[in-house]
Amino acid sequence: MIPHRSGGRSSCQGGHEDSCGQGVYARYSSDNQRDASIDDQVRICRAEIERHGWHLAQIYTNPAISGASTFRPGYQKLLQDASTGGLDLVVAEGLDRLFRDLAEVATLYKQLSYWGIGLVTVAEGPITDLHVGLKGTMNALALKEIAHKTHRGDQLLDPLGQTGRRSTTLAYGPASARNRNFSCLSVSAVER
């Protein structure tokens, strides 16, 4: 049985369940991780789908993109397909593959629920309000810990801030901005 949320509209086009299927979402967050990570996640999700006798409709992936951002092409395509009736269930290895941010987990869950689409992870099973609250909080704390460790690593590379530059690239912005050294700008130049 496919776990659907009550309320909302039927996600399957024309209300026919056999016109829909399950969407698998897989992602890893850094260039330091292996491409095989996505293959492993997809394989695990496929096995879960087969175990239940469900139908795989689409695979959505995002290699080397943080789960802290909603601007992921695979994730955006999943939302588009879900909103237009192409899916009746989203399957992921774990809730943290979709998001680490509590607010974003809650938003996704609310959207999928509105569309009548279930959410299942191999690690947690069918996702409920309880999962969103507890697991979302744990993922948010993990993201905070990662940021702390990254900042600590920056301080180890330049403990006294003597270079006047960041020891890592900027997290956001176009590539041209990430490659500039902004330490040469005076305060008055920034204020203008």
Q: Three-state SS for 82?
A: helix
CB 57 within 8 A of CB 86: yes
Domain ranges, residue 49 = 1-192
Mean pLDDT, the chain, rounded, equals 77
Q: Please give the C-alpha separations between residue 139 and each of 97, 142, 168, in angstroms, as whole numbers.
A: 10, 5, 24
Rounded distance between C-alpha atoms, residue 102 and residue 67, angstroms: 11
Q: For the segment 56-103, what is each residue's pLDDT rounded down to a tens digit? A: 999 999 998 887 788 999 999 999 999 999 999 999 999 889 987 778
125-163 tens-digit pLDDT: 999 988 887 866 776 777 788 777 776 666 566 555 565
Number of domains into which the chain is organized:
1
Query: What phi-psi label fits residue 8: left (phi over 0), alpha (psi between -120 and 50 degrees) or beta?
Result: left
pLDDT of 173 strictly over 80: no
pLDDT at 22: 96
Q: Is the pLDDT of residue 190 over 50?
A: no
184, 166 in Cβ contact below 8 A? no
For residue 59, give the H/E element and its range.
Answer: strand 56-62
Q: What percent of the chain has pLDDT over 90?
A: 40
Whole-angstrom Cα distance, residue 21 to residue 40?
21
What CATH number does the domain containing 3 carry?
Answer: 3.40.50.1390
Task: Let me know the angle formed at the C-alpha of 125 by 145 and 13, rounded to the nearest 5 degrees.
Answer: 110
